[in-house]
Amino acid sequence: MNELQVYLFVALILFCLGLTGVLQRRSLIAMLISVELMLNAASLNFMAFNRFLTPEPAVGQIVTLFIIGTAAAEAAIGLSIILAVFRRYQSIDIERARELKG
Amino acid sequence: MLNQVILFLPELFFLFMALVLFGLTVASGEPKPRRDYHTALVLSAIGAVITLGSIGAEGHLFFKAYRLDLFSQLFKCFLGFGLFLVICISSKLDGIAERHHPEFYLFLTTSTLGMMLLVSAVELITLFVALELSSYSLYILVPMRKGSDHDSEAGIKFFFIGAMASATMLFGMSYIYGVCHTTYLAEIMTTLPQLIHTPGAVVGMVLTLCGLFFKLAVFPFHNWAPDVYEGGANQVVAFVATVSKMAGMAILIRLVALTGGDSTYLMNVLIILAIVGMTLGNLVAIKQKDFKRLLAYSSIAHAGYVLLGILSMSEIGYASVIYYALAYLILNVACFMVLVTMSEKGQNVKIDDFSGLYKRAPLLAVTLLLGVFGLAGLPPTGGFTGKFLIFIAAIEKGYLWLVIFAMVNVTISLYYYIGVVKAAYLNPPAEGSEPIRISIPLRLLNYALIIVILWLGLYPSTLFDQAKIAAEAVLAVL
Amino acid sequence: MDAFLLKDYFFILLFLLVGIGFGAVPLILSVLISPKTIGRDTLKTYESGMIPFGSAWVQFGVSYYLFALIFLAFDVDVLYLFPVLLAYGKDFVIRDFVELCIFVGILAFAIIYAWRKGVFDWKELTG
């Protein structure tokens, strides 16, 4: 295994962990953390490709900066919606919020 | 410099509009819903005219990360008019607390601005940031509904499925970057077609498309649609169902065009998603009682038809999708206008509530008839022509069996669409229901929508020619 | 794997072991030397020496959350100033300055919004 593959492998594991987290976890905060894991996996991929493959030195790093910034905005929006859910159901368990069906 | 400003004028104007609306959100004193409504209406009307005027613009901006061509300008015009129409039907905005009206208009505007940047973006970072700008605004709009028990639940589902889809999209983009070593679509377009048979490129492309599948409510990312449609305020849902869907279609065309058109794996994935999406949407829509929920499932099915046009990967296919996008926008606006007018306090409308609509408001009944028949794909509406063009494009590429399958689906969908029309025309009005009063501007809007629906159905050639030129612009080397 | 990689990973291994040691040693020590009886106060929540009162699950003032959210957004957005630092003043000084002002100005709108909506109005929120 060369170095690039190690990074790609780690990123893939992170991504899969995040995906299972979002689908399996019942706590909204844990789901949010899992989404962040998925985003970090993408960042890691960008950085690794940038370091080992591309001639242009900065593009992957800029992408990562943008991912970090948008992830923070996403977390802020997500947390405020979670707060609204908490106030209504007194819980952050996703099972409580399942009235819409059909 | 000045030249560049003129090229960027539509986006600048919508940014200005967002600033004005931001001013309204922080203005002191009692909430003034009429003032907010009129400001937003006038500004969005000007914005729509500006987008119409900038249709011929061509050029590159921001180190070639941003491209103006007929394709992007045509879609900007659709988006501008879409926003205008949604704001038109917001005159009776009972679904949202009065003190939050400026925020409602503000986020509609920023979302539209994001979509405008999206259709012009030809670089992966720009594309991603624009997509997120439009999605984040929608995440905030959905849980804004007043006095509803379901809005925050719908909001949280929308948010998580959206966040998951955009993370998946980024992961896919990272593979595309790894394969092509660049983030510029123009360079990707020259290298990707040779590499499209390598696993990295296929996986990257499929994962990247996931983000757009979310916007369009294509099969694996469709779960949010019914709940958001039911839980969100009527006008917000109208926006999500029309303008947001259209931006998704636009960028889907842009990205699929990158692959060069002979990727068997990608084709197979798209075919499977189209088949499952159409069938699932239409079958589940049959048992719906709530009109918005019905429209949600029908939108899942419609995403399947759109994929059919896209997977023919030809100029005609893309042009037909552009045409279909416009028809879909107008038809959905017509349905939502009837829905908004029917719902007195901003509540949801059941299909049974349409009973006797032809007596209570004949004009609304006609608009509803045309809108619903258009969605079903019956002539002489725009929906029929759009579907017809898409099916022809698919047959030309040899997907006859797929088109037959889609036709069977269209027939299934007729069942529930006709259920709505039956309620409006054949069922007697409920006891004690009064005629619905329609104001003069709303009456004009009704006539305009009816004319456009029929025009799109009967005289498609002018617009379709434009759409073909726009599709050429996408396929030309960027 | 070449020697270069192994050397890098050796440091990580070392770091990991030291980190585990920092966590494990106090735990083992406390198991060895702590008294083994369980009294009335053993299972009480430890709150800096005070006797705890009430439930920990009280509703906090919503202003705390709002402050946290505003912090979250701003703290990360400053990140974008770092790449600007690298490119600043290379070719067009005035243009760079104006662009920076626009960026920070748009960020400032968020503060204006929070301020006008009374997030910083401490009295109103604790009441």
Q: B68 has which bridge partners?
A: B59
**Mean pLDDT of all residues in C72-82:** 78
Residue C8 falls inside a structural domain: no
Residue pLDDT, tens place only, B188-247: 887 877 777 788 888 888 888 888 888 888 888 888 888 888 888 888 889 998 888 888
What is the average pLDDT score of chain A? 83
Angle formed by the axes of helices B315-342 and B461-475, to 10°? 120
A68 vs C contacts (CB less than 8 Å): 76, 79
pLDDT higher than threshold 90 for residue B148: no
The count of domains in chain B is 1
**Of residues C8 and B407, more confidently modeled:** B407
Residue pLDDT, tens place only, B81-93: 999 999 988 888 7
**C-beta of residue B35 within 8 angstroms of C-beta of residue B100:** no
Q: Which residue among B129, B163, B227 places its CB closest to the CB of A78? A: B163
Chains that touch B (3 or more CB pairs under 8 A): A, C
Chain C positions touching chain B (beta carbons under 8 Å): 109, 112-113, 116-117
Q: Assign A94 a pLDDT band (cuts: 50, 70, 90).
A: low
Residue C94 falls inside a structural domain: yes
- Which residues have CB under 8 Å from B443's CB, separation 6+? B363
Residue pLDDT, tens place only, B254-274: 888 877 766 778 888 888 888
* CA closest to B149 among chain A residues: A88
pLDDT higher than threshold 90 for residue A39: yes
Using the Cα atoms of residue B364, residue B370, residue B376 and residue B382 in order, give the sign of their dihedral. negative
* pLDDT over 70 percentage in chain C: 71
Give me the residue label for tokens 């007194």: A90
pLDDT of residue A41: 93
Cβ neighbours, 10 Å, residue A10 = 14
Residue A55 falls inside a structural domain: yes
**CATH code at position A44:** 1.10.287.3510
* CA closest to A73 among chain C residues: C73
C112: Cα within 13 Å, side-chain hemisphere: 14
Cβ neighbours, 10 Å, residue B414 = 15
A35 vs B contacts (CB less than 8 Å): 160, 163-164, 167
CA distance B46 to B109: 13
| ipTM here | 0.91
pLDDT of residue C2: 61
**Mean pLDDT of all residues in B278-305:** 88
* CA closest to C70 among chain A residues: A76
Burial call B102-127: b when 16+ CB within 10 Å, e when fewer: bbbbbbbbbbbbbbbbbbbbbbbbbb
Q: How many CB pairs under 8 A join A and C?
A: 33
* CA closest to A59 among chain C residues: C83
Residue pLDDT, tens place only, B123-134: 888 999 999 999
**Of residues C26 and A89, more confidently modeled:** C26
CA distance A82 to A92: 7
**Of residues B8 and C65, more confidently modeled:** B8
pLDDT higher than threshold 90 for residue B26: no
* CA closest to C111 among chain B residues: B26
* CA closest to B125 among chain A residues: A63
Residue A16 falls inside a structural domain: yes
Cβ neighbours, 10 Å, residue B95 = 25
Q: Which residue among A3, A75, A83 places its CB closest to the CB of C65? A: A83
pLDDT higher than threshold 60 for residue B413: yes
The whole domain housing C88 covers: 62-126
pLDDT higher than threshold 80 for residue B68: yes
Assigned token pair, B376: 């079903």
What is the average pLDDT score of chain B? 85
CA distance B320 to B381: 15
The count of domains in chain C is 1
Phi first, then psi: give them for residue B147, nearest 5 degrees: 60, 20
CA distance B301 to B284: 10
Verify whether the Cβ–Cβ distance B132 to A74 is below 8 Å. Answer: yes
**Mean pLDDT of all residues in B421-442:** 80
**Mean pLDDT of all residues in C71-76:** 77
Chain C positions touching chain A (beta carbons under 8 Å): 1, 5, 62, 65, 68-69, 72-73, 75-77, 79-80, 82-83
CA-nearest of B161, B242, B248, B244 to B213 is B248
Q: Which residue among A15, A53, A70 places its CB closest to the CB of B171? A: A15
The count of domains in chain A is 1
pLDDT higher than threshold 70 for residue B466: yes
Residue C50 falls inside a structural domain: no
**Of residues C26 and C127, more confidently modeled:** C26
Question: Best residue in B1, B20, B24, B26 to probe C by mutation, most C CBs within 10 Å?
Answer: B26
Rounded alpha-carbon distances, angstroms, from residue B423 to B289, B349, B397: 12, 13, 40
pTM score above 0.90: no
Assigned token pair, B164: 């998951």
Verify whether the Cβ–Cβ distance A78 to B153 is below 8 Å. Answer: no
Which H, E and C letters describe chain B, residue by residue?
Answer: CHHHHHHCHHHHHHHHHHHHHHHHHHCCCCCCHHHHHHHHHHHHHHHHHHHHHCCCCCEEECCCCEEECHHHHHHHHHHHHHHHHHHHCCCCCCCECHHHHHHHHHHHHHHHHHHHHHHHECEHHHHHHHHHHHHHHHHHHHHHECCCCCHHHHHHHHHHHHHHHHHHHHHHHHHHHHHHCCCEHHHHHHHHHHHCCCHHHHHHHHHHHHHHHHHHCCHHHCCHHHHHHHHCCHHHHHHHHHHHHHHHHHHHHHHHHHHCCCCHHHHHHHHHHHHHHHHHHHHHHCCCCEHHHHHHHHHHHHHHHHHHHHHCCCHHHHHHHHHHHHHHHHHHHHHHHHHHHHCCCCCCCEHHHHCCHHHHCHHHHHHHHHHHHHHHCCCCCHHHHHHHHHHHHHHHCCCHHHHHHHHHHHHHHHHHHHHHHHHHHCCCCCCCCCCCCCCHHHHHHHHHHHHHHHHHHHCCHHHHHHHHHHHHHHHCCC
CA distance B23 to B40: 12
Q: Assign B109 a pLDDT band (cuts: 50, 70, 90).
A: very high
Residue C30 falls inside a structural domain: no
Q: Assign C95 a pLDDT band (cuts: 50, 70, 90).
A: confident
Residue A77 falls inside a structural domain: yes
Residue pLDDT, tens place only, A69-92: 888 888 888 888 888 787 777 666
Q: B59 has which bridge partners?
A: B68
Give me the residue label for tokens 């009973």: B355
Phi first, then psi: give them for residue B375, nearest 5 degrees: -60, -35
pLDDT of residue B351: 80
pLDDT of residue B195: 78
Task: Tell me whether B265 touches chain C (CB under 8 Å).
Answer: no
The whole domain housing B238 covers: 2-475
Q: Which residue among A28, A39, A54 places its CB closest to the CB of B170? A: A39
Residue A102 falls inside a structural domain: no
CA-nearest of B31, B46, B130 to B83 is B46
The whole domain housing A20 covers: 3-93
* CA closest to A5 among chain B residues: B178
**Least confident stretch, B31-35, B136-140, C59-63:** C59-63
Question: Best residue in B15, B25, B99 to probe C by mutation, most C CBs within 10 Å?
Answer: B25
pLDDT higher than threshold 50 for residue C126: no
The segment with the largest mean pLDDT, out of A97-101, B104-108, B190-194, is: B104-108
Residue A100 falls inside a structural domain: no
pLDDT higher than threshold 90 for residue B114: yes
Chain B positions touching chain A (beta carbons under 8 Å): 124-125, 128-129, 132, 136, 139-140, 143, 149-150, 152-157, 159-160, 163-164, 166-168, 170-171, 173-175, 177-178, 181-183, 226-227, 230-231, 287-290, 293
Which helix (H) or strand (E) segment holds residue B66: the answer is: strand B66-68
CA distance B239 to B45: 16
